[in-house]
Structure 1
Amino acid sequence: MQKRLFAGICTLLMLAHYAHAQFTVKGRVLDAYTKEALVGASVQLGQNTTGTITGSDGSFALQTMQKPTSLLVSYLGYNPRQVPYQEQFTLVSLTPTSNQLNQVIVSASRQAQSRTEAPVAISILSSQVLQETKATTLDQVLNKVNGVYMVNLGNEQHTMAIRQPIGYSSLFLYLEDGIPIRTAGDFNHNALIEINMAALKNIEVIRGPASSLYGSEAIGGAVNFITQAPAPVPMAKVQVEGSNQGYRRTDFSVSNTFGKVGIFAGGYYAAQRDGIISHSDFDKLAFTLRADYRIKPRTKLTTSASLVDYKTDQTGGLDSTRFYKKEYSSLHTFTYRKVNALRLRSTLEHAWNDQNQTQATLFFRNNAIGQNPFYAIGNVQGNARKAKGEINEDAFSSYGLIAQHRKIFSFLNASLIAGLSADYSPATYTARYIAIDRDENGLYTGYTPSDSLLTHYSVDLLNTAVYAQAELSPLERLKLVAALRYDRLDYTFDNYLPSSSFTGAPDEENGYRQFSPKLGLTYDFGKSNGVYANYSLGFAPPQITELYRGVKVPTLQPSDFRSYEVGGWWSFLQHKAYLEVSLYQMDGKDEIISVRLDDGSYQNQNAGRTRHRGLEYTLNYAPSEALSIRVSGTNARHWFLDYVERGADYSGNEMATAPQFIGNAEVTYRPVFLKGMRFGVEWQRVGKYYMDPLNSETYGGYHLFNARVGYAFKGFEAWINAINLTDKLYATTVDKYSYGKSYRQGVPRTFNVGVGYQFIGKGG
């Protein structure tokens, strides 16, 4: 009995000793820039094998018998970090890695996966890039991606070139959290006006067709803007900036999580006054509200709303004389574009188990795009003091659903994604005639509105689709991907005016059916080296305005593009450098292009057959912790295989406004001895291209240099960005027509100066 009592006392003493010696380590892991929770991050006790992973709010907790000195925290796509242990609570912020291979993407399959598992050319602009660039327009970040040239047309207006010439056709799909910003078939090349830059977490850019997953218009590429999720801790941010060219902007955001519900609200107001070009003011208000509700550990509901109120003056291009003399006065005194856009979406995600996951999204859009467009102005023959134009409005509402299920199988590391989508978008279009006055210098001084309707119609657009994507690994390092999507687009056109070659086609119904396949593979050689290959098909139906406006009989055919692509990635110099390369050929059939007529107006027509071939590459090199170097480039050729325009045969000619080289390079220095300081120098190169399909004259392109300096300290931040540091005279795009040339002038040397403050609470 005494022995038992003695043993029991010893056991209690030992338990008391261990209980007293046990330490509980608690904390949370966040993105250093957005303050989003990093779910599934690895946390280890120094060099100890004891560790855990973070939960849905980025938090972790583990126990140890010995007091730890430090924590080693790592997460895919972020730089690992060793931080000292704090007894109360450890808040760890990780910065995104500059190595694009080691990142998580969602755009290639609508599911999170490693970049190296996707057989596509895809680039990620991380939260760090967005925060440090301090872009006032999206081209300042998107043009860092190889193969991308986003043209700045002023005041956030733009056009795009991704594996295509610079143009205004609907060959690029713009997404917000995987949902198209505008409905298929009623697309405007200026859709990125509706992006709220203050609410972005990162941007993913797919180059090449992505129709097998996203449907029509994802031909040259798809750009997915991913919004910020709510922070698990209290966060508030405000920043103000201005430029020497009359630009002003204020950004703001707040976020926190209350129990199971996280809230993010953020936006910005920007204005331009008294710029270098007369009649070039603009105002934009963008606001996003997002709520994430963790219903259960495996069930999450995400609801967001984005609102954009935008209006800008329109200036148009300059003739060669005014461009080279820097006479930037606009000939247009009353033209404008205004956009009112509302987007709502609600996504329910549920993981049934580790092998089955379902997500479903309901979305609503309400858009109105009103214009008094400069490009619709045509001079009246025989009267130099008169011209004609129009005021128009394109409006639509959308009601849509996207549902998807993913199944993981126990053999060959296989998985299957299957989904469906439906988008019903009734749209209206109205254009009224205006009579325009000109002075002796060709200045369009004013206009007289009228009740004369040029075009007035409605279209019910219904886009339904089903898709599937299968993945499997017959060998350990080999992954095969096969995808197929079937789209059905139905247009029901109702012309409220008598049909004619001017007012539009008669009432009718048009339908388009399309299968979009994709085959791809990746092979991992290990040590961050691998290759991929894919074949895919992209398509685009005629847009509503292309098909019905100003024609008596619709004749445009849908365009399709067959793409063949190989590429790879290689890491070397002890993983301090990596190279990513893509080689592609894309053959287009019935490509729809915009033709400028002699009176200055535009007309759409099919281009027969075209070919696009190019080599894209990015080299990243970080020789030290303080220094990083990136070089991105594209060598490409775009030409007509078979194309006749108004009796002129351009077969074999280069396509107009198709640069043969696009390059962007950047050097960033973050001195170790002055934490929070950064210096960056960027070079942008656009090579020569033909101004017209006749290939009669070339524009030599330009070199552009930008510099950025910033300093962050304890929540405060200040920066100075110098755009076009050498004050280079350049045009973002140049076109040649029968009556002359049109230059869209680039920005002169511009200094943007800003300050900001961010408050972060621990949240417990």
Structure 2
Amino acid sequence: MKQFYSTLFLLLISIIAYSQHTIEGRVLDAQTREALPGVSVQAGANGCLTNAQGRFVLQATADSLKITYVGYNTRKVPAGSGFTDILMEPSSTKLNEVIVSSNRIGQLRTDAPIAISTISKQMLNETKATSLEQVLNKVSGVYMVDLGNEQHTMAIRQPIGYKSLFLYLEDGIPIRTTGDFNHNALIEINMAALKTIEVIRGPASSLYGSEAVGGAVNFITASPSQTPMVKAQVESSNWGYRRADVTASSTMGKFGILIGGYYANQQNGYMDHSDFRKLALTLKTDYQISGKTKWTNGISLIDYKTDQTGGLDSTHFFNKDFRNFHTFSYRAVKAFRWKSSLEHTWNANNFTSFNVFFRSSEIGQNPFYAIRSTSNPLKARGEINSDAFKSYGMVLQHKKHFNWKNASLIAGLSADFSPATYYAIYIDVDKNAAGFFTGFTKKDSVLTDYNVDLLNTAAYLQADAELLPGLKVVAALRYDRMDYDFNNHLPPSAFTGAPDEQNFFHSWTPKVGATYNFGNDRGVYANYSVGFAPPNISELYRGVKVPTLQPATYHNYEAGGWFGFASNKGYLDLSIYRMNGTNEIISVRLDDGSSENQNAGKTTHTGVEWNLRYAPG
């Protein structure tokens, strides 16, 4: 009898050991094949979270696995005994998506008291956009104006204009330096290498600093896929547009690499003198030094040139006569960016990231808008100019989590030194009797020749705590100082610019907000934030006089909410805002007929933004 019980006991142990077989696998994004860390994998009573490479190992006590992750559709798969890759499809209706632009670290959208929208990889793939406004204009409250051949200007909580009231970022780093804004800056983005786009509407200066007034647009590049992947596509139109995209990516052990880009070419369009070409390339590498440390490097290269079409008068437009009065105007952009990021998780409560970056950008042009008529009907005047800068910068950030009230504190330092130059020469333009500008001759006359050393240093803090179940409060404060060292290489005049000058500006920008999450994808938020925009180089130093200018300041009040419905098949995202601008810089005509820039503008911006999404199947 004793031998019988021993045999039975060993048999039960064998059955239990067999039923609790080890399962290994990897959880990946179905769209990009990127690893998904922190995914919940449940097998009966046992469960675990995936690591930084998306991998998991657990003892299964059931015949299936349940995989759940914020922003993705829940999956159930058989619990096989071999290694398996599990692909997760992003949810098109879930509100609990993960965002990074609110505090530079991944968090739930429902914890961020701001108006923010995400353009997913799925939406980018489905839209097949040839220019960015075709996807950005899907965001409520955003109107990106198409000026042709990827040229553009922006309107987010602002009228259509050309002022430095929007901040454009790539992986959290501004693509241009403070004080040298260009409304065509998004020419420098590689659309083929994007994973997602996050759009913050309203001031984001408490985290990102100056110029983030109307909004901040963060272009997040794709990371290397865990499995080998190659994607290629070509497209063509009957108006002479051609484009080819290629992306290749893989991970080998701890090292991952992604190469992606596109070449676009437009010839013989419906309008004369409207050709353009663009080459965009991105190289990104990830090296997982250890389970707690990751090193990422990224390089972006843009080479772009376009004809400038100018405009048509009403008679030509009505008669569908699309001949161009300008036959030689152009814009050329050369941009290079490098960013290196080191991320380290000290423990469950401490995380540090350190970023260094280099940027080089040059916009050269023979602009149509600079061509002016003279007293001779067969002559005009114009200019060829070049605006360029190089940047050397860093951003250091640390996040500390506290057990009390699920609170956290984020502290950061940043510095950006950017020497900038501007050079313009005079051209003598030929004009025929029909009004067409047919050619030009370069002259020895230099109109503008200066350099400016720009230095932006900043420090910021952001704290949040869950004071009550579902109620999270966020407070942030940032201090910025901008130093301008202007050196004019020509005698000061109305054309050449101001005398040599040194100026500095500084600003404190706070933000206070709260969210209340009712659960079931429903919640509300409210915030008060301040944004500021320092004078641009052109506002400060064009012309002889150097007035005493202060940064324009904007006080923003907003409230909104998110509301899931129809069993999470749809949702409504709503925001209401009022923003008051003071000390806005405008050109004031003086008694002697001259003009100078002054802080004399005051504006009020109010609006309602809503986004309704529904997926019936």
After TM superposition, is the score higher than 0.5? yes
Find the counterpart in structure 1 of residue 528 from structure 2. Answer: 535
Find the counterpart in structure 1 of residue 56 from structure 2. Answer: 60
Find the counterpart in structure 1 of residue 30 from structure 2. Answer: 32
For residues 284-363 of structure 1, the aligned pairs below 5 Å read: 284-363=278-357
Cα distance, 1:328 vs. partner?
A: 1.7
Gaps of 5+ in 2: 590-594
Deviations along 1:611-643, one digit per CA (max 9) or x if unpaired, are 111000111122x32xxxxxxxxxxxxxxxxxx
Find the counterpart in structure 2 of residue 696 from structure 1. Answer: none
Find the counterpart in structure 1 of residue 180 from structure 2. Answer: 186
Cα distance, 1:56 vs. partner?
A: 1.6
Using the alignment, how far apart are the partners of 2:600 and 2:92 within structure 1?
40
Find the counterpart in structure 1 of residue 441 from structure 2. Answer: 448
Change (3 A) 1:257 1:101: same
Deviations along 1:323-375, one digit per CA (max 9) or x if unpaired, are 23222221111111111111011111111111111111000001111111111
For residues 567-606 of structure 1, the aligned pairs below 5 Å read: 567-592=560-585
Find the counterpart in structure 1 of residue 423 from structure 2. Answer: 430
Kept in 1: contact 2:94–2:521 (CA 8 A): no
Kept in 1: contact 2:499–2:544 (CA 8 A): no
Find the counterpart in structure 2 of residue 612 from structure 1. Answer: 605
Name the Cα RMSD after superposition.
2.1
Change (3 A) 1:13 1:80: closer
Using the alignment, how far apart are the partners of 2:30 and 2:98 within structure 1?
16
TM-score by length of 2: 0.95
Change (3 A) 1:593 1:26: farther
Change (3 A) 1:159 1:177: same
Find the counterpart in structure 1 of residue 66 from structure 2. Answer: 72
2:553 is equivalent to residue 560 of structure 1: yes
Find the counterpart in structure 2 of residue 708 from structure 1. Answer: none
Q: Percent identity?
A: 62
Find the counterpart in structure 2 of residue 373 from structure 1. Answer: 367
Change (3 A) 1:534 1:557: same
Using the alignment, how far apart are the partners of 2:366 and 2:596 within structure 1?
18
Using the alignment, how far apart are the partners of 1:276 and 1:86 within structure 2?
59
For residues 691-702 of structure 1, the aligned pairs below 5 Å read: none
Find the counterpart in structure 2 of residue 711 from structure 1. Answer: none
Using the alignment, how far apart are the partners of 2:182 and 2:126 within structure 1?
30
Tell me, what secondary structure is at the counterpart of 1:433? strand
For residues 398-417 of structure 1, the aligned pairs below 5 Å read: 398-417=391-410
Using the alignment, how far apart are the partners of 1:571 and 1:17 within structure 2?
46
Using the alignment, how far apart are the partners of 2:294 and 2:489 within structure 1?
46
Q: Which AA in structure 2 matches 1:55?
A: N
For residues 9-48 of structure 1, the aligned pairs below 5 Å read: 11-45=9-43, 48=44
Find the counterpart in structure 2 of residue 466 from structure 1. Answer: 459
Find the counterpart in structure 1 of residue 381 from structure 2. Answer: 388
Using the alignment, how far apart are the partners of 1:82 and 1:316 within structure 2?
57
For residues 173-322 of structure 1, the aligned pairs below 5 Å read: 173-322=167-316
Tell me, what secondary structure is at the counterpart of 1:296? coil
Deviations along 1:182-230, one digit per CA (max 9) or x if unpaired, are 1111111111001011110000000000000000000000000001011
Cα distance, 1:593 vs. partner?
A: 5.8
Using the alignment, how far apart are the partners of 1:460 and 1:64 within structure 2?
62
Using the alignment, how far apart are the partners of 1:91 and 1:319 within structure 2?
60
Tell me, what secondary structure is at the counterpart of 1:591? strand
Cα distance, 1:516 vs. partner?
A: 0.6
Kept in 1: contact 2:505–2:550 (CA 8 A): no
Using the alignment, how far apart are the partners of 2:600 and 2:76 within structure 1?
58
Find the counterpart in structure 1 of residue 592 from structure 2. Answer: none
Kept in 2: contact 1:33–1:131 (CA 8 A): no
Q: Which AA in structure 1 matches 2:414?
A: S
Using the alignment, how far apart are the partners of 1:364 and 1:585 within structure 2?
37
Kept in 1: contact 2:547–2:597 (CA 8 A): no
Cα distance, 1:19 vs. partner?
A: 4.1
Using the alignment, how far apart are the partners of 1:49 and 1:155 within structure 2?
57
Using the alignment, how far apart are the partners of 1:65 and 1:521 within structure 2?
42
2:153 is equivalent to residue 155 of structure 1: no
Tell me, what secondary structure is at the counterpart of 1:440? coil
Kept in 2: contact 1:169–1:592 (CA 8 A): no
Cα distance, 1:555 vs. partner?
A: 5.4
Using the alignment, how far apart are the partners of 1:535 and 1:399 within structure 2?
32
Find the counterpart in structure 2 of residue 171 from structure 1. Answer: 165
Find the counterpart in structure 2 of residue 143 from structure 1. Answer: 137
Deviations along 1:54-102, one digit per CA (max 9) or x if unpaired, are 2222223333356x2x433221111223345555443322222222522
Kept in 2: contact 1:100–1:123 (CA 8 A): no
Using the alignment, how far apart are the partners of 1:197 and 1:454 within structure 2?
36
Using the alignment, how far apart are the partners of 2:412 and 2:19 within structure 1?
53
Tell me, what secondary structure is at the counterpart of 1:610? strand
Using the alignment, how far apart are the partners of 1:182 and 1:72 within structure 2?
44
Cα distance, 1:479 vs. partner?
A: 1.1
**When the two structures are aligned, how many residues end up with a matched partner?**
612
Find the counterpart in structure 2 of residue 689 from structure 1. Answer: none
Using the alignment, how far apart are the partners of 1:132 and 1:552 within structure 2?
52
2:478 is equivalent to residue 478 of structure 1: no
Tell me, what secondary structure is at the counterpart of 2:406? coil
- Per mean C-alpha deviation after superposition, the further-off stretch among 559-568 and 55-64 is 55-64
Using the alignment, how far apart are the partners of 1:603 and 1:334 within structure 2?
32
Using the alignment, how far apart are the partners of 1:221 and 1:231 within structure 2?
31
Find the counterpart in structure 2 of residue 51 from structure 1. Answer: 47
Using the alignment, how far apart are the partners of 2:596 and 2:200 within structure 1?
29
Using the alignment, how far apart are the partners of 1:604 and 1:101 within structure 2?
45
Q: Which AA in structure 1 matches 2:126?
A: E
Tell me, what secondary structure is at the counterpart of 2:405? coil
Using the alignment, how far apart are the partners of 1:283 and 1:607 within structure 2?
41
Deviations along 1:97-142, one digit per CA (max 9) or x if unpaired, are 2225220001011111100110100000011101111110000100
Change (3 A) 1:252 1:15: same
Gaps of 5+ in 1: 597-601, 626-764
2:442 is equivalent to residue 421 of structure 1: no
Deviations along 1:531-588, one digit per CA (max 9) or x if unpaired, are 1111111111111123213444345542111111111112223333321111111111
Q: Which AA in structure 2 matches 1:26?
A: E
Q: Which AA in structure 2 matches 1:620?
A: R
Cα distance, 1:524 vs. partner?
A: 1.7
Using the alignment, how far apart are the partners of 1:508 and 1:40 within structure 2?
53
TM-score by length of 1: 0.77
Find the counterpart in structure 1 of residue 124 from structure 2. Answer: 130
Using the alignment, how far apart are the partners of 2:588 and 2:501 within structure 1?
26
Find the counterpart in structure 2 of residue 710 from structure 1. Answer: none
Change (3 A) 1:202 1:7: same
